[in-house]
Amino acid sequence: MRTSFFIFIFICLLSIACTSVKNSSGEMKSNAITSIQYTRDNGTVSPSSYRKSQYDIKSDQILFTLFDLEGNVLETRKINISSNQFVEIRNKLVAYEITKKCLFNSNEAIPPGGYSASVLMKTKGNELNKQYYIAAGNVHGCGDVISFEKFMLEFIKNK
């Protein structure tokens, strides 16, 4: 009897912990996000021109890194941010519906000539990775990743 009670309490605590980072629709709660990684390549270009941008966003800084095709670091930039600015970035993820559960159809025909991007959002003990392919001005994936990218470029430009 006593063991059953402790198992019941453990299951209740576990279910509370698991649901605290997502709401009932499966959307990640922005206030639970502890770090964000936004990655974008520049698509179908010659190997010598290929670049991959990566933004590692934490509560106190953004680390921007630019890579070539082989993964060599071409540029690094560290930007200190305030906790309010981190909250602003998290709120943009919600505004652009990037934190929402994705029902993307992977069988959808994707035109050639675009580029790929991803947003990895982490909480304590959970993560959500969203993949995108952008071609001819159309986003294949869930959420407005183009607006988030524009926001991040403007945010960094002003620092």
Class of domain 2-157: alpha beta
The proportion of the chain whose per-residue pLDDT surpasses 70, expressed as a percent, equals 75
Give the pLDDT mean for 58-66: 95
Q: How far apart are alpha carbons 97 and 122 in whole angstroms? A: 16
Show me where the domains of the chain are located: 2-157
Give the pLDDT mean for 141-152: 90
Asked if the model's pLDDT at residue 42 lies above 70, the reply is yes
Specify the amino acid at residue 85. Answer: Q
Give the pLDDT mean for 10-19: 31
Provide the mean pLDDT of the chain: 78
| pLDDT value of residue 136 | 77
| pLDDT value of residue 122 | 92
| pLDDT value of residue 34 | 92
| pLDDT value of residue 105 | 59
Q: What is the pLDDT of residues 75-91, one digit of tens each?
A: 999 999 999 999 999 99
Give the pLDDT mean for 139-154: 89
| 156 vs 84, residue with greater confidence | 84
40, 41, 44, 50: CA torsion to nearest 10: 160
**Of 22, 95, 93, 29, which is closest to residue 57 (Cα–Cα)?**
93
| pLDDT value of residue 1 | 45
